[in-house]
Amino acid sequence: MRALLQRVTEARVTVNDAVIGETGPGLMILVCAMAGDTEANADKLAAKIAKLRIFPDEDGRMNRSILDIRGSALVVSQFTLAADTSRGNRPGFSTAAPPDEGERLYDYFCKQIALQGISVATGRFGADMQVSLVNSGPVTIWMET
């Protein structure tokens, strides 16, 4: 699985002008299931994200996890993280999991993040979503299992 994490002060996702998910201080997580990914990949990614120390401590050093700050997460599916731009000018997405499997693993990943003790809001798989956020730092981290 691939994920792009952004440390945020706030983030929201809308569909048809309606807010369907939002978070305060915590993480915006864009996630993509890749072909061949399994629940074990989602488990590993969720556990790593929960413990990742990218939030500032009292000295301003990145030394706290989302659990430490009692932050929340907005998790949005984004198959374009599978983009292959190695040939031509149009990205290919053949390395992404098929839609049914991608949705299943996305839902599973969201549940695993919640099981880590993190409050989770979500986007809507396959929808045309508008995402807005305030990136704190800015801190943006790429992760892949």
Which active-site residues does the annotation give? 78-80
Q: Which residue has the tokens 């305030």?
A: 134
Q: 42-61 in b/e burial notation, b at 16+ Cβ within 10 A?
A: bbebbeebbebebbbeeeee
Dump the DSSP string for 116-138. Answer: TT-EEEE--TTS--EEEEEEEEE
Amino acid letter, 61 = R
The encoded tokens of residue 61 equal: 């050093």
Dihedral of CA 97/99/101/102: which sign? Answer: positive
